């Protein structure tokens, strides 16, 4: 008799036959158009396992983002806010572990090798912290129905695109042709890249956060860059771990901002040397961390085209960059 794993693999093979398929920007993997988004082939099985099996707890906190929008930063901040009373400042686990090791991805990590990992009896004490890049409509039902909380981060699409272009180039297999900026831009505008289309992803969480502001906190990278202290307070309040007056007086908020800063994280040995479960070296996650770096690369025609897309997609939403 077939075991569960074999049956499941066959079902997956059948499903894959029916899905639109595209070449990914890099390497040998593909993208499958699954439930309205382009899922990297290497993560599809894990996405479906996560959807089938994950049972949310009311106390769970899920960090969600579109890739290259500040995921690493938000993980560091969320981890530090929630666990700040578990360790002395200089013993923050962030000094020894990458943000992606402390808040693990469902589809690029936890469900990658094991279709049904035991997340109940692991060493994860409440609140459990997880993360995903899966779009809102594809989240498992229990995550929507429970009182678990979601923090979402997005970013100006122009900076996000430039960040992605550099990131994928760093992951390029040796001797393969680089993807030109023009080619990448064309694919970006069509939405055919990992987790794309960008606009659908952002709008899905934006609308959900407006309908349910106690469940989903919608953050923007640019606001964090502009005023990390007030954004950190907002994050802590939302998560149910507000800073006390005493903590504010003692500079706890500033300390967390400093520990999670680009300058600090980028220089840590763990972030210079480690490799993520999904195969990318940690150091590829730290590049420039600037707002407006796109202006060094975009031609006027690119600006015009993307501004038009931004307007078409976000105009009625009330979301601005």
**Toward ligand A3P, which CB reaches closer, 41 or 283?**
283
Report the nearest approach of ligand A3P to the CB of residue 207 (Å): 21
**Residue 271 binds ligand A3P, judged by CB under 6 A:** no
Q: Which of 195, 236, 289, 302 binds ligand A3P (CB under 6 A)?
A: 289
Q: Are 122 and 94 in contact (CB under 8 A)?
A: no
End-to-end CA distance of the chain: 56
Q: What is the residue-wise DSSP string for 182-211?
A: HHHHHHHHHT-STT--HHHHHHHHHHHHHH
Report the nearest approach of ligand A3P to the CB of residue 315 (Å): 25
All residues at 6 or more sequence positions from 51 whose CB lies less than 8 Å from its CB, including other chains: 134, 138, 139, 140
**Residue 104 binds ligand A3P, judged by CB under 6 A:** no
By CB under 6 A, what part of segment 130-159 binds ligand A3P? Answer: 159
Report the nearest approach of ligand A3P to the CB of residue 23 (Å): 22
SS (H, E, C) 53-105: HCCCCCCCEEEEECCCCCHHHHHHHHHHHHHCCCCCHHHCHHHCCCHHHHCEE
Q: Which of 24, 72, 80, 259 binds ligand A3P (CB under 6 A)?
A: 72
Give the CA radius of gyration of the chain. 20
Q: Which of 49, 163, 168, 220 binds ligand A3P (CB under 6 A)?
A: 163
Q: Describe the crossing of helices 71-83 and 228-239 by its angle, rounded to 10 degrees.
A: 60
**Residue 285 binds ligand A3P, judged by CB under 6 A:** yes
Q: Which of 116, 261, 277, 313 binds ligand A3P (CB under 6 A)?
A: 261
Q: Which residues are catalytic?
A: 133
Residues contributing to the site for ligand A3P (CB under 6 A): 65, 67-73, 76, 159, 163, 166, 260-262, 265, 285-289, 293
């Amino acid at each position: 008799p077939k075991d569960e794993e074999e049956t499941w693999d066959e079902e997956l093979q059948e499903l894959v036959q029916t899905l639109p398929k595209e070449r990914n920007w890099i390497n040998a993997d593909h993208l499958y158009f699954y439930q309205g988004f382009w899922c990297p082939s290497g993560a599809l099985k894990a996405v479906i396992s996560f959807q089938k099996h994950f049972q949310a707890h009311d106390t769970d906190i899920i960090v969600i983002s579109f890739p290259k929008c500040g995921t690493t930063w938000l993980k560091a901040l969320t981890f530090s806010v929630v666990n700040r009373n578990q360790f002395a400042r200089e013993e923050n686990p962030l000094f020894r572990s990458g943000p992606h090791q402390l808040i693990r991805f469902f589809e690029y990590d936890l469900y990658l090798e094991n279709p049904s990992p035991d997340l109940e009896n692991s060493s994860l004490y409440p609140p459990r912290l997880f993360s995903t890049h899966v779009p809102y409509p594809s989240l498992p039902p229990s995550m929507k129905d429970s009182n678990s909380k979601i923090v979402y981060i997005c970013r100006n699409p122009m900076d996000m695109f430039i960040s992605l272009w550099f990131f994928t180039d760093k992951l390029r297999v040796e001797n393969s042709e680089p993807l030109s900026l023009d080619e990448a831009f064309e694919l970006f505008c069509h939405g055919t890249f990992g987790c794309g289309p960008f606009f659908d992803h952002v709008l899905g969480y934006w609308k959900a956060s407006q309908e349910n502001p106690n469940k989903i906190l919608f953050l923007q990278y640019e606001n964090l860059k502009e005023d990390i202290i007030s954004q950190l307070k907002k994050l802590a309040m939302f998560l149910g771990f507000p800073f006390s007056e005493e903590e504010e007086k003692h500079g706890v908020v500033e300390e967390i901002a400093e520990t999670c800063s680009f300058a600090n994280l980028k220089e840590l040995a763990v972030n210079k040397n480690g490799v993520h479960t999904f195969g990318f070296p940690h150091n590829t996650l730290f590049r420039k961390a600037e707002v407006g770096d796109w202006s060094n690369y975009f031609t006027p025609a690119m600006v015009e085209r993307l501004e038009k897309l931004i307007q078409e997609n976000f105009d009625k939403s009330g979301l601005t960059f």
